[in-house]
Amino acid sequence: MNLRWLPLCVSAVLAVHLEAVFALDPQSSAKLVRIVNQAKRDKLTPRTLQTISAAFLGAKYQGGLLDQSLTEQLFVSLTEFDCVLFVETVLAIAQLAKQAPPTADIVNDFSQQIMSLRYRHGQMDGYCSRLHYFTDWIQDNQRRGKVTDITPALGGVADSHPLNFMTQNRQSYRQLVNNEALYNCIKAREQELSQTPRFYIPTERIASIYPQLRSGDIVAIATKIQGLDVTHTGLVYIQNNQVGLIHASPAGAVTIAPDLTRYVRGVPESKGIIVARPNL
């Protein structure tokens, strides 16, 4: 089981300076411009995130794309996703739409936005700088004002079990197998995360918070799996007064689950959700 779970694909690579090694193809670049311009016209209401996410319905799900190389690479895509890349892509496009106007190099700007979401302090500095645990992703992006964890305000309960899935399953992470420095770096981060308060909404309470959810809220599915925090993520999708989830589904594509509670109940070992609200 890979921690980047049910999760990405054109690409760019980051070393000291952002250097595009793979570029979005012309069709994807044109699509990016269209979506950004539409988001700007929508003036970035919460509903805009839903509109952006819907532009990718049917796109291919593909797991493991962040880990194709032993060298950390900034991987971006508008054609295939894992669940986290899908969320990052929607938020990155929304952030691009805040720029007035976007620069001429919109693909580079998009890559920079993805980097800012995916890595600690918004800077890529090797494998350990990636926000592997999604609660770490939420906490780091909250510190930088990009999202707000609203789970406690929604009545979340404490989740105190330790996080150590990556180091306990070291053989499943080829970057860690023969690299003691990386292993120790991840272990230190796990220990820090384990001591940081975390909360989740139990599954049986999810329906009761529907009135407080907005289109585009980030939903992460909390898990009972030992050492792990969440197993999947997506965005709230409200249609005809129904609260659903739009996500890159491991079943094969970006799709909409029409009822959030029903979907969470169907995820093996799930116990509830964590909710983060994008700050736009």
Mean pLDDT value across the chain: 89
Residue 17 has a pLDDT of 34
Instruction: Specify the pairing of strand 80-81 against strand 60-61.
Output: parallel
What DSSP letter does each residue of 239-258 carry, written as one string? ETTEEEEEEE-TTSBEEEES
Which of residues 57 and 27 earns the better pLDDT score? 57
Q: What does the buried/exposed string (b/e) look like for 219-238 if buried means 16 or more CB atoms within 10 Å of the residue's CB?
A: bbbbbebebbbbbbbbbbbb
Residue 101, pLDDT score: 67
Q: Grade residue 98 by pLDDT with cuts at 50, 70 and 90.
A: confident
Q: Where does 145-163+196-278 sit in CATH, by number?
A: 2.30.260.10
Tens digit of each residue's pLDDT (9 = 90 or more) over 116-151: 999 999 999 999 999 999 999 999 999 999 999 999
Does the pLDDT at position 83 exceed 50?
yes
| pLDDT value at residue 34 | 92
Is there a shared CATH topology between the 10-141 domain and the 145-163+196-278 domain? Answer: no
- Each domain of the chain, given as residue ranges in start order, spans 10-141, 145-163+196-278
DSSP codes joined into one string, 78-137? SSEE-HHHHHHHHHHHHHHHHSSSPPS-HHHHHHHHHHHHHBGGG---SGGGB--SHHHH
Helix, strand, coil fractions of the chain, as percent rounded to 5: 45, 20, 35
The CA distances from residue 168 to 52, 184, 227, 231, 277, in Å, are 37, 12, 8, 16, 31
Q: What is the pLDDT of residues 243-272, one digit of tens each?
A: 999 999 999 999 999 999 999 999 999 999
**Tokens 């593909």 map to which residue?**
62
**Would you call 238 helix, strand, or coil by DSSP?**
strand
Q: Judge whether residue 204 has pLDDT over 70.
A: yes
Q: What is the CATH number of domain 10-141?
A: 1.10.3670.10
Mean pLDDT of 184-189: 98
d(CA 117, CA 86): 12
Reported as a single tens digit per residue, the pLDDT across 28-60 is 999 999 999 889 888 878 789 999 999 999 999
**Segment 194-203, tens digit of pLDDT:** 999 999 999 9
